[in-house]
Amino acid sequence: MSGRRDQHDEHPPIRTEPTLGDLDRLDAPPAPAADGLPQVPVEPRRPYGRATAPRRHRQRRGRGALLLLLVALVAVGALWLNQNRLRGMLPRTDFNTVLTQAQQALQDGRLDGQDGTSARELFQAAAALEPDNDRARDGLRRVGQAMLVQADAALQAGQLAQAAQQATVARELLGGGSDIDRLDRAIAAARAAQVHTVDLVDQAQQALAAGKLDGPEGAGALYQRVLRATPDNAVAAHGLDQVGYALAVQARAALDAKDSATADARIEQLAALQPNNGALPALRALQAQTRKQDNGTLDAALKAGQEALRAGRIVGSGDDTALAHFQAALKLDPDNAQAHVGLGQVAQALTVQANAALDDGDTTQARKLLDQAAELAPKSADLAAARARLERTSSSPAAPAAVGNAPMPVAPTAVSPQQSAAVARLVQRAQVATNNGDIMMPPGDSAYDLYRSALAIDGNSEAALHGLQALPGQVEQQFNQALAAGNLGKAGDMLANLAELAPGDAAQGALGNRLAGAWLDQAEQQLGRGDRIGASQSLERARKLAPANPRVLDLGARLQGGG
């Protein structure tokens, strides 16, 4: 070691403490370099790819916010649209309780009221708790429909005030509609009919006081019309009982007086008005006993009449003629078919005798015989044909002779072309009327009247004569067709036409029995359906045609006994 110290050792270095520097110059521009070179800014070195990260991050954050907004909007819409279903998923004790009570009230039929327990009140309370709830609104609609059904039932029962009140409630709940309008019209019509019913009751009471019991304007028919309109009308029901009592008294009096015709008429009227009248069984029994007593006399009269016909004792002044015996039979039984046929046979015999007189040229005797026949069978087709023959064979004009109520003019000996054309038109119209079933009616336009009008112009018209005499056969054909089709009313009309056109035709008895059987079949069906009134009416039609038919007696007993 030399022992020398470096000169620098003589002044040891001074320690410098670190400082923050001049903070106020942080934002100042950098000072120029001491070396005079331009200063180049250098950014801190970053890893590769990190330069664009902030911008991408901001873009992703914007898209996420938009997506969240859309999801929120969709969620809010779904909640709004399904609020009733969602609300129903929440426990709502008050609403559910009221709704359950309302549905039970509807099921029990307690539809309306003022005590808060009816279906209408409860559904309205539920709707007040949840104004937009579909179940409450549907419940009110169902109450309205049930009220409509009850109003219809009340109307059918004649309870018009109740029907009107229920219809009003139904209109409030349903808001109107075609069914409500229909019901209102029906109630208005029923109220108008009630006013008319009051007038009918007054008319019926006046008829009863005057003793007018039967007929379309009689007390019985008027009371029946009232009861058909208002079945629960007590005044009309009592009035009909009074009519039934009066008819029963008259029937009993006629039976005691041996007036079978009057007794039968009163009993039939009573049966038509009141099939279940308590006096009917006894009257029927007494009627049957009286008929049994008269049957011997009736059979004897019918037998004697047929014997007189065969012997040629047609008419005359004594009581041993066919006419006298058949008329006696009708006094015992006015509806006796054999007696009516017998009178028709008398008319036919007189017509045959008249034609024989015409063959001999005795027009005076022929006219006399035809006049007698006209009193018994004024609509006979054979009689009309014989009358036309009489007029065309008369050598001189004679006074018009009556067939029924219509005179037959004298047929001229010569017919002009215009008259021939008129006859042809009349015959054609008569044929059309026959096909339409207009045999004896309407007057003047019936087939019978048209043929007679043609013969009045030309008594020699073969077409008119043939058409007139063919009418009975065509009527029988239409009877069979109507019976086969079940049109019993028309079949009855045809049978009545046949009785006028061919009153002596014995085949009518068989036709009448067939029609009676059809009426009895219908009565059985009506009774099976519980239609006792209809069954009674059908039975009466059958009884008039075949009173001795065992089925008539059996069904009559069942109706009277309630079976």
- Domains along the chain with CATH numbers: 91-176 (no CATH), 196-274 (no CATH), 277-374 (1.25.40)
Residue 166, sorted as left (phi over 0), alpha (psi -120 to 50) or beta, turns out to be alpha
Angle between helices 160-174 and 134-156 (to 10 degrees): 160
Does residue 342 contact residue 302 with C-beta atoms inside 8 Å? Answer: yes
| pLDDT of res. 84 | 55
Q: Is 547 exposed, middle or buried (0-12, 13-18, 19+ CB in 10 A)?
A: middle
The tokens describing 345, both together, are: 């046979």
d(CA 93, CA 119): 19
| pLDDT of res. 515 | 94
Positive or negative, the Cα torsion across 160, 162, 168, 173?
negative
Question: What letters, b where the CB count within 10 A reaches 16 and e where it falls short, cover 17-33?
Answer: eeeeeeeeeeeeeeeee
Does residue 441 contact residue 449 with C-beta atoms inside 8 Å? Answer: no
Q: What is the full DSSP assignment across 143-178? A: HHHHHHHHHHHHHHTT-HHHHHHHHHHHHHHHT--H
> Among 542, 537, 494, which residue's Cα sits nearest to residue 518?
542
| pLDDT of res. 399 | 42
Q: Is 138 exposed, middle or buried (0-12, 13-18, 19+ CB in 10 A)?
A: exposed
The strand pair at 401-403 and 406-408 is best described as antiparallel
> Among 406, 386, 382, which residue's Cα sits nearest to residue 394?
386
> Among 388, 352, 350, which residue's Cα sits nearest to residue 371?
350
Q: What is the full DSSP assignment across 385-432? A: HHHHHHHHH-SS----EEETTEEEPPPPSS--HHHHHHHHHHHHHHHH
CA 56, chain centre distance (Å) = 86
| pLDDT of res. 534 | 87
The tokens describing 408, both together, are: 């037959």
Does residue 138 contact residue 126 with C-beta atoms inside 8 Å? Answer: no
| pLDDT of res. 547 | 78
Backbone angles phi, psi at 381, to 5 degrees: -65, -40
Residue whose entry in the numeric block shows the structure tokens 């999801």: 71
Backbone angles phi, psi at 164, to 5 degrees: -65, -40
d(CA 540, CA 271): 8
The tokens describing 548, both together, are: 């001795």
What DSSP element (H or E) covers 104?
A: helix 93-108
Peptide bond into 442 cis (omega under 30): yes
Residues forming a β-bridge with 407:
402
At 191 the three-state DSSP class reads helix
CA 242, chain centre distance (Å) = 31
d(CA 377, CA 344): 6
Backbone angles phi, psi at 401, to 5 degrees: -105, 145
| pLDDT of res. 54 | 54
At 210 the three-state DSSP class reads coil
d(CA 69, CA 40): 48
Profile the chain (563 residues) by mean pLDDT over runs of 10 residues.
Answer: 44 51 51 51 50 54 68 61 52 76 86 84 85 84 87 80 84 82 80 65 86 84 80 86 92 88 86 87 87 79 92 89 92 81 91 90 91 90 88 58 43 74 94 93 91 87 90 94 94 92 84 93 91 88 85 82 56
Q: What is the full DSSP assignment across 33-100? A: PTT-PPP---PPP--TTTTSHHHHHHHHHHHHHHHHHHHHHHHHHHHHHTHHHHHHHS--HHHHHHHH
| pLDDT of res. 77 | 62
